[in-house]
């Protein structure tokens, strides 16, 4: 018997011939990837594929509804090539190629559907960018946020990760953070030089815990590209500003022996970025409808305001879990947020999502367009889970703050929003 243990590298249509059994450890995240992976076996003769579902809301949902999974169509791939930030970054390269300035007419020829105002914005953004850095081979294929970070082992001059964008670099790397890949060595972050974009790590002998950053985001609206008020649902799609302060981290020990520990950083890092975002704001009547509903359910002594807030968070979590199922994306491509009082949203209760990997992926725009489906699927996810108060199979998310979540209220809130659509 021959056994191959592999990452998803085998997904890309390599024909090894006579494999007969595939064991998938965890759902790969999309039906398309799942079909590719199980398709590695049975190419000559019979084949059997086994999928081991993991403890995560969407996977548990499909474990409860296997037929729905089997009949589910592959996801739709999204890309937004006319995103203005992406276009603006290409202008200096185009100018090099043409050997002259890029004009409005050039862009109109290439993208006949774009509005004149939009093209002018693209040219303006391009004019203010530092083109030398872009033309000078600094055009990162991995990210759009400009500055790149590298991870180097102290004293060995050996770079282990290259071209990390600043946003994810500072989320995952801070003094004391553990960097590891399963089955390989672990490293602890020793120092970070933001000016040079350098992260220095030290090898560690024994890996006993990993780290998860704890951060706070302050969110503001830069501009709204689109707004809609459809049947009682207020939603918008635009550019947000996120100021993220990473102020500490959690040490999570392997095994059950140790409780996890919270550590504060001596020097919190603050990063600012301006991702695409979409958000749904609740009207006063929707919010009071929810509170009235909660009043009837809640035990004496529980604060209705806190439960309403916890319902908002739980609904946001359920939506986060189902999004990768409706739109082809990775769960790490976007971040969800929810709050009942945030100045940027005029203190109205809000559930929103912003892109993590720069703009241009089209994920956020797709969430905006598919909001009705997202709400319905989130409700199905919650309703089909037999628990009463919320559990890791429905409203809890791995690695997120899962404290104030109220499942019965989330169900009510999603219904209120869906009634608005129908
Ligand atoms: Zn549950």
Of residues 13 and 118, the one with the higher pLDDT is 118
Query: How far is 337 from 349, CA to CA, in rounded Å?
Result: 11
Instruction: Rounding to the nearest 10 degrees, give the CA dihedral for residues 28, 332, 281, 344.
Output: 180
pLDDT of the residue at 337? 93
287 and 413 belong to one structural domain: yes
Pick the most confident of 83-92, 148-157, 296-305: 148-157
How remote is the CA of residue 412 from the centroid of ligand 1, in Å? 15
- Of 44, 71, 98, the one marking the end of a domain is 71
pLDDT of the residue at 131? 52
The dihedrals phi and psi of 148, each to the nearest 5 degrees, come to -115, 145
How far, in Å, are 8, 142, 199, 207 from residue 185 at the CA level?
A: 21, 24, 17, 8
How remote is the CA of residue 396 from the centroid of ligand 1, in Å? 8
Whether 58 maps to a domain, the answer reads: yes
How remote is the CA of residue 393 from the centroid of ligand 1, in Å? 5
Mean pLDDT of 51-80: 87
Of residues 299 and 5, the one with the higher pLDDT is 5
Kindly report which listed range (107-111, 372-376, 379-383) carries the lowest average pLDDT score. Answer: 107-111
Of residues 330 and 380, the one with the higher pLDDT is 380
- Kindly state the DSSP code that residue 77 receives in the 8-state scheme: P
Q: 271 pLDDT exceeds 90?
A: no
Q: 265 pLDDT exceeds 70?
A: yes
How remote is the CA of residue 320 from the centroid of ligand 1, in Å? 15
Give residue 75's pLDDT band: very low, low, confident or very high (50, 70, 90): confident
Give residue 45's pLDDT band: very low, low, confident or very high (50, 70, 90): confident
How remote is the CA of residue 312 from the centroid of ligand 1, in Å? 16
265 and 280 belong to one structural domain: no
Looking at the chain, the whole-number percentage of residues with pLDDT higher than 90 is 39
How remote is the CA of residue 54 from the centroid of ligand 1, in Å? 14
Whether 239 maps to a domain, the answer reads: no
From start to end of 2-110, where are the E strands?
21-25, 48-52
CB 407 within 8 A of CB 383: no
How remote is the CA of residue 29 from the centroid of ligand 1, in Å? 20
How remote is the CA of residue 39 from the centroid of ligand 1, in Å? 32
pLDDT of the residue at 22? 92
How remote is the CA of residue 418 from the centroid of ligand 1, in Å? 20
pLDDT of the residue at 375? 95
Mean pLDDT of 401-421: 88
Whether 232 maps to a domain, the answer reads: no
How remote is the CA of residue 88 from the centroid of ligand 1, in Å? 45
29 and 97 belong to one structural domain: no
Integer-rounded Cα radius of gyration of the chain? 24
Whether 175 maps to a domain, the answer reads: yes
Beta bridge partners of 264: 248
Give residue 28's pLDDT band: very low, low, confident or very high (50, 70, 90): confident
Q: How far apart are the first and last CA of the chain?
A: 56
How remote is the CA of residue 260 from the centroid of ligand 1, in Å? 23
pLDDT of the residue at 134? 52
Residues 6+ apart with CB under 8 A from 157: none
How remote is the CA of residue 201 from the centroid of ligand 1, in Å? 40
316 and 206 belong to one structural domain: no
Helix (H, G, I), strand (E, B) or coil at 266: strand
Give residue 146's pLDDT band: very low, low, confident or very high (50, 70, 90): low
Question: Which of 350, 361, 356 has the alpha carbon at shortest distance from 334?
Answer: 356
How remote is the CA of residue 295 from the centroid of ligand 1, in Å? 21
pLDDT of the residue at 78? 67
CB 266 within 8 A of CB 284: no
Whether 44 maps to a domain, the answer reads: yes
How remote is the CA of residue 60 from the centroid of ligand 1, in Å? 9
* pTM of the entire predicted model: 0.76
Mean pLDDT of 338-363: 85
**Residue 367 burial class via C-beta count within 10 angstroms: exposed 0-12, middle 13-18, buried 19 and up:** buried
66 and 199 belong to one structural domain: no
Number of alpha carbons in the 13 Å side-chain half-sphere of residue 345? 28
pLDDT of the residue at 422? 57
Q: What is the 3-state secondary structure (H, E, C) of 188-239?
A: EEEEEECCCCEEEEEEECCCCEEEEEEEEEEEEEEEEEEEEEECCEEEEEEE
How remote is the CA of residue 57 from the centroid of ligand 1, in Å? 8
How remote is the CA of residue 252 from the centroid of ligand 1, in Å? 23
- Of 46, 71, 96, the one marking the end of a domain is 71
How remote is the CA of residue 383 from the centroid of ligand 1, in Å? 8
88 and 103 belong to one structural domain: yes
How remote is the CA of residue 382 from the centroid of ligand 1, in Å? 7
Mean pLDDT of 56-83: 85
Mean pLDDT of 44-54: 91
Mean pLDDT of 50-56: 90
335 and 320 belong to one structural domain: yes
How remote is the CA of residue 405 from the centroid of ligand 1, in Å? 11
Whether 127 maps to a domain, the answer reads: yes
Helix (H, G, I), strand (E, B) or coil at 102: coil
Whether 179 maps to a domain, the answer reads: yes
How remote is the CA of residue 408 from the centroid of ligand 1, in Å? 10
How remote is the CA of residue 61 from the centroid of ligand 1, in Å? 10
- The mean pLDDT value of the chain amounts to 85
Mean pLDDT of 62-72: 92
Query: How far is 120 from 114, CA to CA, in rounded Å?
Result: 10
Beta bridge partners of 391: none
259 and 313 belong to one structural domain: no
50 and 92 belong to one structural domain: no
Tokens of 412: 């009510």
313 and 355 belong to one structural domain: yes
How remote is the CA of residue 375 from the centroid of ligand 1, in Å? 17
Its domain, for residue 332, covers 276-421
Question: Which of 131, 161, 159 has the alpha carbon at shortest distance from 146?
Answer: 131
Task: Give 375-404 pLDDT, tens digit per residue.
Answer: 999 999 999 999 988 998 999 987 666 778
How remote is the CA of residue 392 from the centroid of ligand 1, in Å? 6
How remote is the CA of residue 24 from the centroid of ligand 1, in Å? 24
Kindly report which listed range (27-36, 180-189, 190-199) carries the lowest average pLDDT score. Answer: 180-189
How remote is the CA of residue 384 from the centroid of ligand 1, in Å? 8
How remote is the CA of residue 395 from the centroid of ligand 1, in Å? 6
Whether 228 maps to a domain, the answer reads: no
Task: Give 206-261 pLDDT, tens digit per residue.
Answer: 888 889 888 888 999 998 888 888 767 889 999 999 998 999 999 988 877 788 88
Task: Give 278-291 pLDDT, tens digit per residue.
Answer: 999 999 999 999 99
Q: How many domains does the chain have?
A: 4
The dihedrals phi and psi of 193, each to the nearest 5 degrees, come to -110, 100
The size of the chain, in residues, is 422
How remote is the CA of residue 63 from the centroid of ligand 1, in Å? 13
CB 347 within 8 A of CB 273: no
Per the rule left: phi > 0, alpha: psi between -120 and 50, beta: everything else, 410 is alpha
Give me the residue label for tokens 């996977």.
59
In what helix (H) or strand (E) does residue 303 lie, and over which residues does it extend?
A: none
187 and 133 belong to one structural domain: no
Query: How far is 90 from 10, CA to CA, in rounded Å?
Result: 33
Of residues 154 and 231, the one with the higher pLDDT is 154
118 and 179 belong to one structural domain: no
pLDDT of the residue at 142? 47
């Amino acid at each position: 018997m021959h056994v191959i243990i592999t990452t998803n590298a085998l997904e890309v249509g390599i024909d090894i011939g006579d494999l007969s059994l595939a064991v998938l450890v965890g759902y790969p995240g999309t039906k398309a990837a799942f079909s590719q992976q199980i398709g590695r076996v049975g190419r000559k003769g019979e084949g059997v594929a086994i999928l081991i579902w993991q403890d995560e809301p969407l996977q548990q949902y499909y474990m409860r509804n296997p037929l729905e999974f089997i009949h589910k169509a592959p996801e739709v791939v999204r890309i937004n090539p006319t995103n203005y930030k992406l276009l603006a970054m290409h202008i200096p390269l185009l100018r090099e190629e043409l050997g002259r300035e890029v004009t409005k007419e050039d862009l109109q020829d290439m993208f006949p559907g774009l509005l004149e105002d939009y093209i002018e914005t693209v040219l303006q953004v391009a004019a203010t960018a530092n083109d030398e850095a872009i033309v000078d081979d600094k055009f990162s294929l991995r990210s759009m946020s400009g500055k790149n970070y590298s991870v180097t082992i102290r004293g060995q001059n050996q770079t282990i990760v290259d071209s990390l964008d600043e946003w994810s670099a500072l989320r995952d790397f801070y003094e004391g953070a553990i960097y590891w890949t399963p089955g390989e060595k672990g490293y602890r972050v020793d120092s970070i030089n933001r000016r040079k974009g350098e992260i220095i790590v030290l090898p560690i002998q024994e890996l006993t815990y990993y780290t998860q950053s704890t951060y706070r985001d302050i969110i503001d609206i830069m501009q709204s590209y689109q707004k809609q008020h459809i049947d009682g649902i207020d939603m918008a799609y635009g550019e947000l500003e996120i100021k993220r302060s990473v102020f500490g981290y959690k040490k999570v020990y392997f095994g059950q022996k140790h409780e996890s520990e919270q550590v504060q950083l001596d020097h919190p890092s603050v990063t600012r970025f301006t991702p695409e975002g979409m958000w749904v704001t609740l009207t006063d009547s929707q919010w009071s409808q929810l509170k009235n509903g909660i009043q009837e359910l809640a035990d004496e002594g529980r604060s209705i305001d806190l439960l309403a807030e916890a319902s908002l968070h739980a609904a946001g979590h359920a939506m986060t879990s189902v999004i990768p199922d409706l739109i082809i994306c990775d769960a790490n491509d976007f971040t969800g947020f929810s709050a009942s009082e945030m100045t940027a949203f005029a203190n109205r209760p809000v559930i929103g999502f912003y892109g993590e990997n720069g703009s241009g992926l089209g994920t956020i725009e797709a969430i905006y367009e598919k909001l009705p489906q997202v709400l319905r699927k989130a409700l199905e996810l919650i309703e089909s889970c037999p628990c009463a108060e919320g559990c890791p199979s429905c409203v809890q998310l791995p690695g997120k703050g899962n404290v104030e979540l109220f499942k019965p209220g989330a169900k009510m809130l999603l219904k209120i929003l869906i009634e608005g659509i129908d």
